[in-house]
Amino acid sequence: MLELRDMQVWYGGIHAVQGINLKVGRGQIVTLIGANGAGKSSTVRAIAGLVKGLKGQILYTPHSGPTVNLAGLPPEKIVAKGLALSPEGRRILPHLTVSENLELGAYSRKDKAAIAEDKEWVYSLFPRLKERHWQKGGTLSGGEQQMLALGRALMSHPDLLMLDEPSLGLAPILVQEIFETIKRLNAEDGRTILLIEQNAYAALNIAHQAYILEVGSIVLEGPGRELRNNPKVREAYLGG
């Protein structure tokens, strides 16, 4: 459903992403792993329309309808097409309530009744958010904020859910919870997910397909479990 063809990102003179080819199939969890500064975030930010110096093609095939090139579209158009990004660092609006944060996530939609339904669904996914629906986003704990960020991205009813480092800064028990949720969203709900992670082990465990990024280029790709057992990957990313 999504295919990057020779996608490049330039920040001024810096070639942050040096022509990557990547495919996300419908119903899959695809993960992009790599060290800090490898270009993972730049890649998803480019797909979401946040990057200016973009070259190459971002081909997206929606559920129904022809394939379109997303390169050059503004972020608000891209969300409306069904791609949601939960950005790195969660980026909860701290002065808005939990409920308002979720409603903001549904801004690209007009169907009021379905939005309300989805909100209840997100609350059922994360009962903690329901308990705190009137609280300001800034007063939540890190784990709760991550749930809110995930729920907010889901509120746009995305075809493709992109998660940028959802485990960043969370306690191990919470990391496990988040990964469980991602797995469930894919298995039970049929959601297609593009997952950016530094926590390579956890990501490779749940991914159907994985890409490894080093200094702006993809150096290895294959099914998640296969890469997990690859000696080079074990040495570089899984601590031997």
Contact residues for another protein, defined by CB under 8 A: 48-50, 74-76, 79-80, 84-85, 87, 91, 93-96, 100, 103-105, 107-109, 152, 156
- Residue 42 or residue 230: which is nearer to another protein going by CB? 42
Instruction: Using the minimum distance from each CB to another protein, give the nearer residue, 110 or 173.
Output: 110
We find the least distance from the C-beta atom of residue 94 to another protein, in angstroms, to be: 7
CB of 220 to another protein, least distance (A): 29
Nearest approach, Cβ of residue 149 and another protein (Å): 9
142-154 and 98-105 helices, crossing angle to 10°:
30
Phi, psi of 134 (to 5 degrees): -95, -5
Of 79 and 200, the one with the shorter C-beta distance to another protein is 79
- Do 122 and 129 form a contact (C-beta atoms < 8 A)? yes
d(CA 39, CA 33): 10
Quote the least distance from Cβ 154 to another protein, whole Å: 12
- Helix extents (H) in the chain: 40-48, 75-80, 98-105, 112-125, 127-131, 142-154, 172-187, 200-206, 224-229, 231-237
d(CA 224, CA 28): 11
Enumerate helices (H) and strands (E) in the chain, giving the number of each: 10, 10
Kindly tell me which of 164 and 197 has the beta carbon lying closer to another protein.
Answer: 164
Closest separation between CB of residue 78 and another protein, Å?
9
CB-nearer residue toward another protein: 27 or 138: 138
Bridge partners of 163, per DSSP, are 86, 195
Amino acid (one-letter) located at 31: T
Closer residue to another protein in complex, CB, 109/183: 109
> Shortest gap between Cβ of 103 and another protein (angstroms)?
6
For the record, the structure tokens of 24 come out as 């996300």
